[in-house]
Amino acid sequence: LCIIIMYQISSKVEFTNLKCTSLDNKFCEFPYCFIKAINRTYKYISFKAKMYQTPITKVKMNFALFKRFNGFRPFLYNVTIDSCRFLNNTSANPIAKYFYGLIKSSSNMNHTCPYTHDIITEKLTISHLNDQLTRVLPFPEGEYLIDTYWKAYDISRARVEFYFTIS
């Protein structure tokens, strides 16, 4: 008699912090920026960037991935993209496309420039990120930070930091 036990290794993503900082309060501000825990297993992120100088026709974004090794250290990616050109052809940059895919379904950043409205990411759930960060492109366990800087007209305007763990 032979018994075979099969199991699947699964990872779990968990939000730990979210920080939204306006670097130019005359250009934009964040009325809200939070992690909401509905229960122990269902959490989501929401934030809104209120824009004061629209239309916005020239946007660049820098995103860097950090992993905690005795402090947060650069890990794999530090990319700056022209957001207007990227949204015209998302296939042109596979790395940016992967990270854009993390928020695309929950955000109104789904068209090319000009932006004539506030930027909103509403109810970005942990289950979506869990699938992307553990199944589509598996990351090793640890504490991570996705640090984003947003520039409009080559002036730094905002910073959004996403902290999470994979266990």
Pseudo-torsion of CA 47, 21, 27, 94, nearest 10°? -70
- Any idea what the Cα angle at residue 105 is, between residues 86 and 114, rounded to 5°? 40
- Using 50, 70 and 90 to split pLDDT, how confident is the model at 3? low
Q: What is the CA radius of gyration of the chain?
A: 17
Pseudo-torsion of CA 101, 125, 31, 58, nearest 10°? 0
State residue 1's pLDDT score. Answer: 52
Once rounded to an integer, what is the mean pLDDT over residues 124-136? 78
Pick the residue with more confidence: 126 or 36? 36
- Using 50, 70 and 90 to split pLDDT, how confident is the model at 10? low
- Give the pTM: 0.86
Residue 45: Cβ within 10 Å count: 22
Kindly state the DSSP code that residue 112 receives in the 8-state scheme.
Answer: P
Pick the residue with more confidence: 153 or 6? 153
